[in-house]
Amino acid sequence: MDGYINILKSKLSPDHFDKLAALQNEEVNRFVAHAIELCEPDSVWVGDDSDEDMEYCRQLAIDNGEEIPLKIKGHTVHFDGYFDQARKKEVTRYLVPEGESLDPKLNQVSRSEGIKEIEGLQRGAYRGRKMLVRFFCLGPPGSVYAIPCLQITDSAYVVHSEDLLYRGGYGEFRRQSGNPGFEFFKFRHATGEVDERMTSSNHDRNRVYMDQTENTVYSVNTQYAGNTVGLKKLSLRLAIRKADREGWLAEHMFIMRVNGPKGRKTYLCGAYPSACGKTSTAMIPGENIVGDDLAYFRVINGKFMAVNVESGIFGIIQDVNAKGDPVIWDVLHKEGEVIFGNVLVNDGKPYWLGMGEDIPETGMNHVSMKWTRGMKGPDGKPTTCAHKNARYTVRIDDLENKDPDWNNSGGLPVGGIIYGGRDSDTSVPVRESFGWEHGICTMGAMLESETTAATIGAEGVRKWNVMSNMDFLSMSVSKYLKNNLEFAKDIDRPKIFGTNYFLKKDDKYLNGMLDKAVWVKWMELRIHGDTDGIETPVGIMPVYEDLRDLFSGILKKDYTREEYGEQFTLRVPENLAKLERMEEIYTSKVSDTPAILIEFLLEQRARLQQVREKYGDYISPFELSGR
Ligand code: SPV
Ligand code: MN
């Protein structure tokens, strides 16, 4: 203990030492002291939850050259290296004690080897730099959901992002860290060597290593927030296991409020793989956002409750435009704290793909400080003005459409859960499951999304992504599904829906971008038993008249019987093909599949075969409803 104290005293000024000492937590002291010994910073700075400390970090990101101020007050741009534009699965590994396995399918290395490797990569990494020590909280501090977190990094951009995206946690450590059994997550990130643009040069030595035994994640040679901001995806992997130990759920979901008739407020959560409409659903005009990425579920006083783990949004900026996303557009154009990531900057103004404005031929971006159209990247590939995964970081509080209760420490009652995929030819735009288990098994566990032109590799390839949480499952798929199936089984559980905004005919989308505004209102009505549906082999579909009325009320649009008939046609061959893909996965790739999933699969197949005999391959919803 004395050893740690001496190390801390050697690098911390007395007031910063006092901030740590006030926490009276040996593990905190040990973690900070070890980072000092290993990474050898010039100095150490400890922050609390004060505005002053947040401002210090914001300014430091600029002084370090990690962020560059833009014309609008409070706006900055941050660049990640050309090869550091997204999470990298290949180098993201779980550290497991010798002889153990979290699941054979997961990318894992022996704990001792992994620690040796990461320590080798982080040794001396803070030389000439300032080590930042900050405290944040996943979920509202003081609540049953709260997970206090300790972040160590040499990147002011990382902690600045965390100030926008998470609630402060120093107060939570002060309250709790002296208590026996106090558990917290810890993250140690090191930027590593940087190039002249302040981006990590050794991208080939990028590693993200998760030590579940110590609730700790280490990352190095990367700046991209998905790899460095500890409380985002690094924490999700730890939280899924903590939730497993404690009997709750950690999900990759948005939370939104849908406004029903007579002022009724209904909360929906949604899991969508990338590019399936997640943020745009959470942002539907006329409804209210609570959060767009991470939700924790708990049963509280016999109710199914969800909390937004975050306090901000790290959103994809591509295709954000004045018409489609007026709320975000407004925040991105007025004074206030915004970090733009990997956009094009010309004359202090940010530009991105699909913004609906003319893009200059030149500027600074993730490729070069002097990018020009037609320029090739260091890998010889053509470049675009902004990266397709370019992002904006803002606070929920700065959004005009936030739900005033978004920060409720007790959480919000969940009425429905949506699993949203992308497929051009199989699922109808919206349907309801027959119940919780049917929804988990046939919608969540069978979630797929087609790759788009924007993703690497062939277009139109279906990727299986269980509850959109696949990248973060720190346990077997079966264990995770069982936890979902069992959760809250003694209470009334939310209704489960499946959506697909991307049905096509003759290569054209059958639905408009805003149609999802109708689907969520329909779900809201169903949740409260306010309308009937049509029972089909794959779930309950809307009746025409309800959608006609909703389209005309919300979108002022005539919704014809033909449009409905086409969109809600039950496509039997494609649905059977999907079940075949899933059968293959769940009988040969996943071990220990819950028996109930196979039962639902076989039953669904039998129902589909039965209606096919009667009506053929493509069945109009009018036929199914007998109207
Ligand atoms: C996602 O990819 O799901 C994100 C962004 O929310 S990242 O921080 O990279 O995870
Ligand atoms: Mn996400």
305 lies in the same domain as 318: no
567 lies in the same domain as 601: yes
Query: Do the strands 448-450 and 462-464 form a parallel or antiparallel pair, or are they unpaired?
Result: antiparallel
Cα 279 to ligand 2 centroid, rounded to whole Å: 10
Query: For residues 35 and 132, is the Cβ–Cβ distance under 8 A?
Result: no
pLDDT at 454: 56
Reply yes or no on whether 276 is catalytic. yes
- pLDDT tens by residue, 327-339: 899 999 999 999 9
pLDDT over threshold 90, residue 323 = no
pLDDT at 460: 80
The residue among 225, 424, 206, 400 whose CA lies nearest residue 316 is 225
Pocket test for ligand 1, best of 189, 293, 310 (most atoms within 8 A of CB): 293
pLDDT at 456: 56
CA dist 423 and 245 (Å) reads 35
Residue nearest to atom 2 of ligand 1 (CA): 274
β partners of residue 217: 187, 210
CA dist 32 and 26 (Å) reads 10
Last residue of a domain, one of 347, 374, 398: 398
Q: Residue 428: which CATH number?
A: 3.90.228.20
Last residue of a domain, one of 369, 398, 427: 398
107-145: b (≥16 Cβ within 10 Å) or e: ebbebeebbebbeebbeebbeebebbbbbbbbbbbebeb
Q: Residue 33: which CATH number?
A: 3.40.449.10
CA dist 143 and 493 (Å) reads 22
pLDDT over threshold 80, residue 564 = yes
416 lies in the same domain as 533: yes
The residue among 254, 207, 190 whose CA lies nearest residue 40 is 190
Residue nearest to atom 7 of ligand 1 (CA): 226
Closest ligand 1 atom to 87 CA: 9
Long-range (24+ apart) CB contacts under 8 A made by 57-65 are 57/132, 57/134, 57/156, 57/159, 57/160, 57/163, 58/156, 58/160, 58/163, 58/337, 60/130, 60/132, 60/156, 60/160, 61/155, 61/156, 61/157, 61/160, 63/156, 64/155, 64/156, 64/157, 64/198, 65/198
- pLDDT tens by residue, 27-80: 999 999 999 999 999 999 999 999 999 999 999 999 999 999 999 999 999 999
Residue 439: CB atoms within 10 Å: 27
N-term to C-term CA, the chain: 77
6 lies in the same domain as 81: yes
- pLDDT tens by residue, 519-551: 999 999 999 999 999 999 999 999 999 999 999
Q: Which domain holds residue 36?
A: 2-246
| DSSP string for residues in 334-363 | SSS-EEEES-EEETTEEE-TTSSSPPPSEE
pLDDT at 402: 98
Cα 42 to ligand 1 centroid, rounded to whole Å: 32
The residue among 267, 231, 265, 266 whose CA lies nearest residue 250 is 231
pLDDT over threshold 60, residue 177 = yes
Pocket-forming residues, ligand 1, beta carbon under 6 Å = 87, 225-226, 232-233, 274, 293, 314
What's the whole-model pTM score? 0.97
259 lies in the same domain as 239: no
CA dist 375 and 152 (Å) reads 37
Beta strands in 349-443 (DSSP E): 349-351, 362-363, 371-372, 391-395, 412-421, 430-432
Cα 8 to ligand 1 centroid, rounded to whole Å: 34
Q: Residue 345: which CATH number?
A: 2.170.8.10
Q: What is the pLDDT of the chain when averaged over all its residues? A: 96
6 lies in the same domain as 153: yes
- pLDDT tens by residue, 573-601: 999 999 999 999 999 999 999 999 999 99
Out of 57, 137, 149, 276, the active site residue is 276
Query: Do the strands 265-271 and 412-421 form a parallel or antiparallel pair, or are they unpaired?
Result: parallel
42 lies in the same domain as 97: yes
pLDDT over threshold 70, residue 2 = no
89 lies in the same domain as 176: yes
pLDDT at 455: 57
Query: For residues 274 and 252, is the Cβ–Cβ distance under 8 A?
Result: no
For 94, the token pair is: 């779980």
Last residue of a domain, one of 231, 246, 261: 246
380 lies in the same domain as 411: no
The residue among 491, 568, 490, 483 whose CA lies nearest residue 522 is 568
Q: Stretch 297-321: mean pLDDT, rounded?
A: 96
421 lies in the same domain as 504: yes
The residue among 489, 454, 484 whose CA lies nearest residue 467 is 484
Read off the amino acid at residue 355.
M
pLDDT at 453: 62
Closest ligand 1 atom to 391 CA: 5
Q: Which residue has the tokens 């062939």?
A: 458
Closest ligand 1 atom to 471 CA: 3
Confidence of residue 180 (pLDDT cuts 50, 70, 90): confident
Q: Stretch 139-148: mean pLDDT, rounded?
A: 97
CA dist 185 and 234 (Å) reads 10
Read off the amino acid at residue 442.
T
pLDDT at 482: 98
264 lies in the same domain as 232: no
When divided into structural domains, the chain yields a total of 3
562 lies in the same domain as 468: yes
Q: Phi and psi for 548 in degrees, rounded to 5?
A: -55, -45
pLDDT over threshold 80, residue 465 = yes
